[in-house]
Structures are given as C-alpha cells and as structure tokens.
Structure 1
C-alpha cells in the first residue's frame, strides 16, 4: 500500500516499503519544502512526477551509481577535454541551468522539472545544498547539470546539452573534481546508456542505504568556487 505523506511531518516510510511495480515508488504527497527535500535525500528517496500528478517519491531497487574513482572517459571525450573547446564553471548560474534542464525534449512529452520543482531546488542552492555545473562556448551557456552534495555523496538530478558533447564535458569535469574532493559515490538514480558509458552501474538499494549511513555526515574537501578557465 502506498504511503501518503502528511504536510506536518517530514517522516518517510522505510525504503523496503517501496513498491516493486512501479519500481521504487515509496510515497506520495507532502510538499517540496527545502527541509523535506533534504530529509528525502538523506533517507534515500527523491521526487519525480509530472505536472498534474501528486508529488511522488521514489527509491528504486537497484540504484544506479557511479563511484568517481571508476569514471570511464572515452578516447574521443578525452581528446575533446584536452582541446578545452568548452569552459566549465560551478555555481555560476544555477537558475539558468535548471531552467535549461526543464526545457522540452524532443524524445519526451512535458517535463518533471515543474516550476515548483525549480523554485524548490533554487532554495536548496541558496542554502548551499544544490550545485550547478555550467558549460560555456564563449559566453554562451551550451550545457550543464545540477544536483545535491551531502557529505561525501553527490546526488545527480538532470543535465542538458545544446552543443555536441557539452553535457559530457560538464559531467566528466565534475566527476574529476568530486574525486579530488574525496566524494565516494554519485547517485545517478535510474540507468541510462549515457550514464553507463561513463562507468555507472547498479547496486542493491540496501547497499545504497549503507553508503548513506556511512558517508552522509562525513566531511569533504569541496570548493564549489573552483572552475576551469
């Protein structure tokens, strides 16, 4: 039975209560307050829903993850990174990145990054939890991604690209920085061919929960003012 969240409580049901079909649906309802979102990620779930639906909270099993130390960069991408065709920055224009991620895609109808979602993650950014990666071609924003950093874990949310391989350059650059900053895991949530090409793999939800228990409150060496010129 699906759990409906109360607005006056930030509690989520245990992860093992998530449905098998659809895979990982844990709860519905509640709100998108910054406090609830932080609690959701700490608990091991995330919001994902379409306009007109109630807020839905997910914890899929298995979980797609990428340890930064296991990043795979193809020869073509490595060559592109060496050419420094694009410039990569962090936290320079979070609002523009999430707005671009919310834009319509040719392969999908609508967007799950609703206006309320954008507002919620902007507040998380202002509180220092959410971060953006910007990829520039000259002065034009041509790619990027955003997610949350907690302890030594990074929770990826969405990426976009307006130029060839721009999002790949942004992601690879971020992962190299996360590795240097002592992050141990990137939560990719759901599997995609794009993520698997970087070395992402699936682990049981229970194993993911163990990462949360061990590393959520660990110190990292992150410097989000860092950027590549």
Structure 2
C-alpha cells in the first residue's frame, strides 16, 4: 500500500487487505476511501473480510494510465484529454452504524402492515441489484462492480463472504429489497430500494427477524443516516467497529437460515419473521 501526493491510499494486488485496514486505522487515515489498482472477486472478498465495504467510482485519468476499468467508449465526455476509468474504492468508514438484529424496534403499525407481504432470500438477486441501480444510479454501483457482485453471488457457497439479496413481495410483485453480504455471524447491508410506501420499513423489519432467528450477532448498517438510529443502530468509530465485525466474521450463526446455500428458498409471510425482534 502506498500513499499518493494527495494523501489517498493505493492498495495493490498482493497487498494484505487486513494489514492495510490496520495501518489506516493506526495512522488515523483521514479519508474514508482507498483506491485499488484492481477489481475482481478476490479483491471484493478480501476487502470485506478486512472490514472495508465494497464501492467503486469513476475518475478521469491520463491516456495509458495502467489502472482502472475503462468505460466502454474510452472517452472523456467533457472533451478534455484523458479517459474515464472505473476504480475499486473500498470504504473504511470513520463512523459506522452497527445493530444487534434482535434489538431492532418494530412498531405495531409495521407488524400489522407485514401481514400483506412475503419475504424471500436469494430469489431474485439480479432483479434486486438492478432495482438498486435504477433507484440510486450507478455512481458507486458501477457496471464493473455489479458484475463482480453477480459473480460472488453465483459462487457464494464457495466463498467466505456470501453476497445475497433480500426481497419483499406483494401479490407476486417485487416491491422492496436490498443486496448485502454475510460472513460468519455478521450481515452487512449495501443498497436497497422500495416501490411502495412503507414497503422498505417492512423489508427491514422482516430482515431483522430473519437475522435474529438465524443467530446473527451484528447487522452492519454502514454510513450514518438518521433512520439507522431510529432502527436502533449505534455509531462506532473505525477502531471500535473493526474488531467487532472481524470477531463476528469468525463466529457461526445458527442453522435456521443459511445465506450461502444455492437453493432458492420459498417466500415466507413477513409476519412470521418478526417474532424474534422488539
């Protein structure tokens, strides 16, 4: 790992992701993103296990720059000299919200609303991922990164990090969902969407119930957003959340749900999943 003239950390193929995260933490690295010279399934998995969250960004670089994934056109739309390239930019938050799934507060309104929905896991990963991109744009969910997510999801039973999707259905129509990843007894949310008012809240509540019932000890919610406090999440500084999530990565959750399994599970009534949560 090297620091460039702007103070950004560059991580190279062959670098130890955990050692990089530890160095950035020990030196109180003021940024939240690092730049990687490569983007593939191993880079994403390695970063996740070290405590980063996988993200990507586009930058304009000189023609012939040796790193980054080129855009299909290979041109800079601004007309300036250079090329737009996609870079893997794993995020090591200054502050991250963590939640014990069983501690999520669920209102009576949400419990009543849950009776009208079904929840599933890994039933429609591609559709859920596409809906997240459609909702939020491809600013960080770039095509090269989503391609790697698809690869990791397809091979999740052979990986230490399992990329999964959570889907909420009403009358057979996908109305909310999210993509995330699990390792050991930790689950991390990456991106979500909803197409029906209130559906996103029901999806989160149902997921909390699934995680609690399955023995997950940490729900990694990522960056600070007000609703995460309302869910019951607690903020942790970098030096605080890293040991917590890494410890959970080496724990085994219960056997009620195996997020890594290849078989597509049937849809479950949402109301059935809420019993393990507050």
Say yes or no: TM over 0.5.
yes
Determine the structure 2 residue equivalent to 1:112: 140
Of 55-64 and 137-146, deviating more is 55-64
Equivalent residue for 2:14, pick from 6, 9, 18:
9
For residue 178 of structure 2, give the secondary structure of its aligned residue in structure 1.
Answer: strand
The alignment status of 1:94 with 2:125, answered yes or no, reads: yes
Per-residue CA shift, 1:23-61, capped at 9, x if unaligned?
A: x22x20233311111111111112333344532221112
Determine the structure 2 residue equivalent to 1:50: 57
The alignment status of 1:64 with 2:97, answered yes or no, reads: yes
Q: Give 1 or 2 for the bigger CA radius of gyration.
A: 2
The alignment status of 1:155 with 2:155, answered yes or no, reads: no
For residue 60 of structure 1, give the secondary structure of its aligned residue in structure 2.
Answer: coil
RMSD: 1.9
Q: Per the alignment, do residues 141 and 10 of structure 1 end up closer, same or farther by CA in structure 2, a change over 3 Å counting? A: farther
Determine the structure 1 residue equivalent to 2:81: none
Determine the C-alpha separation between the residues in 2 that align with 1:18 and 1:100: 36
For residue 172 of structure 1, give the secondary structure of its aligned residue in structure 2.
Answer: helix
Q: Per the alignment, do residues 92 and 110 of structure 1 end up closer, same or farther by CA in structure 2, a change over 3 Å counting? A: closer
For residue 153 of structure 2, give the secondary structure of its aligned residue in structure 1.
Answer: helix
Equivalent residue for 2:218, pick from 169, 176, 185:
185
Determine the structure 1 residue equivalent to 2:262: none
For residue 116 of structure 2, give the secondary structure of its aligned residue in structure 1.
Answer: coil
Determine the structure 1 residue equivalent to 2:178: 145
Equivalent residue for 1:175, pick from 184, 208, 211:
208
Q: What 5-or-longer segments of structure 2 have no aligned partner?
A: 1-6, 60-85, 157-161, 260-264, 270-278
Of 139-148 and 28-37, deviating more is 28-37
The alignment status of 1:31 with 2:38, answered yes or no, reads: yes
Structure 1 position 10, deviation (Å): 4.6
Determine the C-alpha separation between the residues in 1 that align with 2:200 and 2:116: 13
Q: Per the alignment, do residues 123 and 104 of structure 1 end up closer, same or farther by CA in structure 2, a change over 3 Å counting? A: same
Determine the structure 2 residue equivalent to 1:228: 268
For residue 58 of structure 1, give the secondary structure of its aligned residue in structure 2.
Answer: coil
Determine the structure 2 residue equivalent to 1:122: 150
Q: Is the 8 A contact 2:50 2:246 kept in 1?
A: no
Q: What 5-or-longer segments of structure 1 have no aligned partner?
A: none
Structure 1 position 120, deviation (Å): 0.9
Structure 1 position 104, deviation (Å): 4.1
Structure 1 residue ranges (4+ consecutive) displaced by more than 6 angstroms after TM superposition? none
Determine the C-alpha separation between the residues in 1 that align with 2:266 and 2:185: 17
Determine the C-alpha separation between the residues in 1 that align with 2:258 and 2:54: 27
The TM-score normalised by the length of structure 1 is 0.88
